[in-house]
Amino acid sequence: MDLMNIRPWIFFYLICFVALLLATTFIVQGITPLFWMSSTLIIVVIGFNFICIFSEIKEHRKRKALMKQISSGNGTRTPGKDGRK
């Protein structure tokens, strides 16, 4: 199995983790006005993470298929033999 380039996502997930910790703190302390904001923040962060991960997996599969097509020689032409004079 090929591993995707995960390093650029480290800072993104650290920021998301801090946001989730802050939201969880507000919920546990029972601050009522911040409860709805915290719940919304948790839902948005989790949803955005799923969207990002699925798009990364989709792009990875697309790149892998393109590399496979290029390496098999189906999509390449030899120079000088394209039919033009």
The reported pTM is 0.56
The residue range of the domain holding 65 is: 10-69
Residue 22 domain-assigned (yes or no): yes
Q: What's the rounded Cα separation, in Å, for the pair 73 and 85?
A: 24
Residue 5 lies in a domain: no
Number of domains composing the chain = 1
Please check whether residue 76 lies inside any domain of the structure: no
Place of tokens 């390496």: 71
Q: Which tens digit of pLDDT belongs to each residue from 15-73? A: 888 888 888 888 888 877 777 877 888 888 888 888 888 888 888 889 888 888 888 87
Q: What is the dihedral of CA 14, 16, 18, 19, to 10 degrees?
A: 170
